[in-house]
Structure 1
């Protein structure tokens, strides 16, 4: 980038966060959403969470970004332990589209969404010095950040039916996906999470979506993407309804050197209820003191350990406890 304070610009550059999970699990009132997830992804990795609907994919995505509280094992995002540092993880991660948690407003125009996100970013993440800048300078900074995010997401505003004034309801599925990613990128996150990446996309649009996510990962941002079928070059974490997931790592030597094999074990619904998963989907809460609340998963009884298949109800219950489902 151009002039200005070199230190400040360097600090704002997107740089990926390593993601490590070891025996990671989350249980809702009626069963495990996911369990025994173990993998390691280096900064700038493309991680695809694949599996059928109801297999805990979204819950895993939200848990790894600090929006849902795990009950078993542990994980780290950028050296921040989960679930103890959920608020800190929320500050370095951002959600693209996640139904029921971070959705586009169909009544908003593209420009309204972008301006709103830039204003929120400045309000909650801006320094005191930035808040004291002249209005024209703040507006120019916000516009530059919007333009940067839109370009990175591959969203061509001029190609939209009414340009920036196009309503979200009039966007094609791929363009809506690009917009949701652009909104997330305004915060220059170290970890980007996207749900339902390939849902209702044609083969050509699906290829474009994955090409976009690869480019973001190549630029340094770690990407977590939920999908029904992962591309071969991604680190794949496959969630299954019952049984143990397949372990799949990238085929190329470069990618294999960056990531370890993903391991995901999912267990059956347990009728015993536990404390609900606590979360702050908006990512605005204070630092969590959650270590004392993680009593449900570790050191449970033998009877609990013999239940072996995740159910759609268990995943839905855990997601519902975010208050957004």
Structure 2
């Protein structure tokens, strides 16, 4: 029973909330939505594929210190490894119910997530390559994957600039935020030989990098909303993101005084407030674009 609980903890299903904005954004620009595909795609990604990735990474990382949403991670067992593969298999099988194209994209995503932590490849130990791959697959690739699943479109129909551009913007945000998720793990990552981008940048360098990356990503989103949607949406995006910016600047100020503030609690705080703001905005975006709120 205890092992089953530990496996459930390592699946970190609530962590999927942090990746939910990508799905809602893809939903917001989808022209061919149906309730069955919306629900099935959501369940496949957030309750099967993402937890499978979390479990697989936990098994090979064997973290002793805090990781996403687990301040004191329990020990890992071989059962966790098999559970991750079972979740992947079920996710791919369900994805096939929508289309072969969607199932293949889900399969490719699973391979990329495994390459990040598997000791034979372990992209995590390469600061730039690991950063690029993680941001690409959790951003534009996931956006495209969700779009294909939600709309039941072929790859050719979905491979349009109006889909790829917003997908790239999600990657831009993830490339900016990703080093921040590593900022409290420098000691443990170094012990394993994982030279993450945050270690390479240093603590204060990570904050400066994220600040610049967020600024560039925000400019990209403003360009997108002004050119593809409305000025109202561009202003709304800035308003919704204001709490995240304020939290980040307060935290940066504290870290400048004392590096001990670059810890798990503050990192999770940034993740939570950022996810809340982004999810709220993209729900608003979806309701405005789809006009559901006017029905």
In the superposition, the TM-score normalised over structure 2's length comes to 0.30
In the superposition, the TM-score normalised over structure 1's length comes to 0.28
Does 1 or 2 have the higher relative contact order (CA < 8 Å, sep 6+)?
1
Which has the larger share of strand?
Answer: 1
Which has the larger share of helix?
Answer: 2
